Structure 1
Amino acid sequence: MDRFEYLKNVGKRIRKVRILRGLSQDELAKRCGYKSRSAINKIETGINDIPISKIKIIAEILDVDEMIILNENKFIKFWDD
């Protein structure tokens, strides 16, 4: 899997958990310190790289371990539980 595909998959996992938690892109962006929802949109679509510091913040806001966002197998286990 190349880097773009990995980032795209990370973004998909963030999107799924965000929706599960009932947050809009705008609300998540504001809580993360971004000025607009477009930053979250670009993360969720894999366009923008995401620093680990933001992954930690997003995971905290979404109330999940950051490994659930970073690792497909951990995400599948989380999603199935």
Structure 2
Amino acid sequence: PIGASSRNVTDTDAQLRIQTVVLRGALNNLGIAMKIDSNQIHAANYNLWGESPDVMLTTTAQQALFNAMPNWMVIKGLPV
């Protein structure tokens, strides 16, 4: 689960900015995908992810790095 986290910018040594994960085509479908054959997938119509998979992967990576690197400010998004 992704929990709330905060860090004071004065307590950090460096900043790490994570770019948004980019998934193409069926990989970024909101429908949960099932593998039918070795070369076919089926995306569900009624069983959906809460967010698109690219947003979930970006958020999970940011949260994991934020917790693993206590002296770094880990931010997701494009460079300023």
Which has more strand, going by share of residues?
2
**Greater relative contact order (Cα 8 A, min sep 6): structure 1 or 2?**
2
Shorter-chain TM-score above 0.5: no
TM-score by length of structure 2 reads 0.29
